[in-house]
Amino acid sequence: MIPFDFEYYRPGTVREAVDIYRQLDEAGQAPVYYSGGSELISMARVGNRTFSAVIDIKSIPECRALDFCGEDLIIGAGVTLHELIVSDKFPLLGKTAGRIADHTMQNKITFGGNLASTIIYRETALPLLLTDAAVTAAGTGGLRTREISSLFDGRLQLPRGEFFVQAAIRREFVRAPYFHEKKTKNEKIDYPLLTTDALVFNGRLRVAFSGLAAYPFRDKGAESLLNDAGLAYASRAENVAKVLEGIVLDNSNGSAAYRRFVLKNTLVNILESVKEANIPCLC
């Protein structure tokens, strides 16, 4: 049970959602946008989060989109992880979503909820970072679309009063050769010790990580080292580990030394997989 009262709104349009937020904010209330709500509800139940009103965006058509529009795959913030998995619209994203939580929670956690989560992993961000996805957000100024690199710094960085509406991924990325590897401390379903997503695009290997640092990220400098065809796979992996050394987590889930060990093995595995699959790659 949530130990406080709050108002519930379920707008049918982006404009209505923004207007409700503005009106509540001007009245001195503390509204929050709500897509999946699993984390919000859990935090409220234990007293870690309070709010006076929730604005549920799941009835907004743009937030429920999951299909191609021209050359872009559009994915709405209100699409559940389960829907991402079974649709197979974007195999790498579906594979990544399929390793987040269990089946029951995958029916509750939404794409937007995972990206905006207070939990540090936010693994659905990895395929977006790898594909230079375009992210659309809504606020009092209307809809704004920007490349994810300008909005995502560990988590979605949206101005107060804005909410994530949808992401667009170019079709050419969606079917690119990809690799996904998740290592956990104990169980298959657990927070990642290291989640690595990679894909090959225009003959280059792109790679992004969750669990290695206190935030998910893609590092283009590390990618350059990984694509250095003049070095052996192990040497490239070692160079990447050295470059990223300063941000590697060291906690009860795994020491920094162990994470670096897992990282190097994972990178070598990916490079070997590219070669074994005869994927055209300068790496």
Specify the 3-state DSSP secondary structure of 99: coil
Helix (H) or strand (E) holding 179: strand 178-184
**Does pLDDT of 190 surpass 80?**
no
- Write down the pLDDT at residue 280: 85
In what order do the strands lie in the sheet containing 163-170?
66-69, 72-76, 163-170, 134-139, 142-147
**Does pLDDT of 187 surpass 90?**
no
Cβ–Cβ < 8 Å for 55, 11: yes
What is the percent of the chain with per-residue pLDDT over 70, rounded to a whole number?
94
Tell me what the pLDDT averaged over the chain comes to: 93
What ranges make up the beta strands (E) of 44-141?
Answer: 53-56, 66-69, 72-76, 134-139
Residue pLDDT, tens place only, 80-100: 999 999 999 999 999 999 999
**pTM of this prediction?**
0.95
Residue pLDDT, tens place only, 216-229: 999 999 999 999 99
